[in-house]
Structure 1
Amino acid sequence: MLARFTPTWMIDATYDIAPKELKQLGIRVVLTDLDNTLIAWNNPYGTEELREWMTALARENIRLVVVSNNSHQRIKKAVASLQLPYISRALKPLSLGIRRALKQYQVEASEAVMVGDQLLTDVAAANGSGVKSILVRPILPSDAWTTKFNRFAEKFVMRAIRHQHPELNFRKDLMNERD
């Protein structure tokens, strides 16, 4: 049961994920959650750091696609200034949204990675679809009200995962084992 919620990697922040390392791993598409992963849940404009990361991904010919449980209107408004493609109503933790993205962007599961800040939705959906997953720390310590229950439950799941996988810790990059 824990395997469904166990991330492939745990990285401190989305912007710490090096596009060159993704390229070396054969990744062609980065699927990412929106709120508290790509942008702060209460700030739809993003940051300069996000724009630099997006540029670095583009230099490596890696597409960035938002896969979110939010409505079409919410995501459209949030990513308008970023001009990012997206899959709305992804129904995470089900793998439907991720499978739609894989089909739409014509990539195999091995060529994609899902980045998210929640075990019970983002990581579960990635693992259910055979896509590698990167759990990141939330951008903000606060959440929208709809996420608070998941955060509470995740504490228990994370404790069990760390017991089973003591080597799994938040770190700065994908390739090195350092924290």
Structure 2
Amino acid sequence: MTDSLYAKTSNRPGLRANNESWAIGLCKQIPLYGIVSMIVIAGESKFMFERLLPHMRVNTIYDIDLQALKKRGIRGIITDLDNTLVGAKEPLATPELVRWLDDVRDSGFKVVIVSNNNRTRVSKFAEPLNLTYIHAARKPANKAFRKALSLLELPAEQTVVIGDQMMTDVLGGNRMGLQTILVNPVSPGDEGVMTRVNRRLEKIALARLRKKGLWPKEDSK
């Protein structure tokens, strides 16, 4: 587990707000999601690269210390679906995931799924679990994160975002002042075309982060 990668740099001023807002706005018009974030990153904005740094990294959701989150004041969880909770082609929750969600609820956390996938996919997964969800979220745009916070009835500082993509989950959560946890994708081979493109862009971003000393060089992600 790697903690506080983004926390070391998140308080620095001077973000290129105009370019970033334009890029995120483009997500709302066409389904590029995290891809357009690279338009800003390509402008060599150091601060934009830092927005891609999660507060914590773990292998899977099952490696998250729920009690440690509670001690840090976290009361709500915004989680991605595909390749975060289950593989992208897995239609329903696994028994292991059901047990984990029971632990999450028993620990007092509120949970909402925020996914860029369509209503059919997200509803069929979430409804049997009695989970609130937001589909077609267009992450990293702010709108879905704001809606999720409203559904949770919690402020950003009491909420964590869990996801497998830096370009959508981490970037979107960090922009909103949320804690962010990056997990490894459950089943990389099941990823769609747009996600695979995002992964290539992610590698470009990681190379830049390593060059700036913001990401471990020995890390294989």
After TM superposition, the score normalised by the length of structure 1 is 0.88
The aligned counterpart of 1:161 is 209
Unaligned residue ranges in structure 1 (runs of 5+): 171-179
Q: State the 1:72 CA deviation.
A: 2.1
- 8 Å contact from structure 1 (residues 10, 168) kept in 2: no
Quick one: which amino acid aligns to residue 148 of structure 1?
R
Q: Is residue 50 from structure 1 mapped to residue 50 from structure 2 by the alignment?
A: no
What's the secondary structure of 1:80's corresponding residue? helix
Q: Is residue 144 from structure 1 mapped to residue 210 from structure 2 by the alignment?
A: no
The aligned counterpart of 1:33 is 80
How far apart, in 2, do the equivalents of 1:129 and 1:77 lie? 28
**Larger Cα-atom Rg:** 2
Q: State the 1:159 CA deviation.
A: 2.5
Quick one: which amino acid aligns to residue 207 of structure 2?
R
For the structure 1 residues 162 and 30, does the alpha-carbon distance in structure 2 shift closer, same or farther, using more than 3 Å as the test?
farther
Kindly indicate whether structure 1 or structure 2 has the higher relative contact order, using CA contacts under 8 Å at least 6 residues apart. 1
Pick from 72, 75, 91 the counterpart of residue 138 of structure 2.
Answer: 91
Pick from 21, 35, 39 the counterpart of residue 68 of structure 2.
Answer: 21
Q: Tell me which protein shows more helix as a share of its residues.
A: 2
Aligned residues: 170
For the structure 1 residues 91 and 55, does the alpha-carbon distance in structure 2 shift closer, same or farther, using more than 3 Å as the test?
same
How far apart, in 2, do the equivalents of 1:162 and 1:59 lie? 39
Unaligned residue ranges in structure 2 (runs of 5+): 1-47
Give the share of equivalent positions with the same residue, in percent.
36
Quick one: which amino acid aligns to residue 93 of structure 1?
P
What's the secondary structure of 1:115's corresponding residue? strand
How far apart, in 2, do the equivalents of 1:168 and 1:118 lie? 19
Q: State the 1:168 CA deviation.
A: 9.6
Quick one: which amino acid aligns to residue 30 of structure 1?
I
- 8 Å contact from structure 1 (residues 31, 65) kept in 2: yes
The aligned counterpart of 2:14 is none
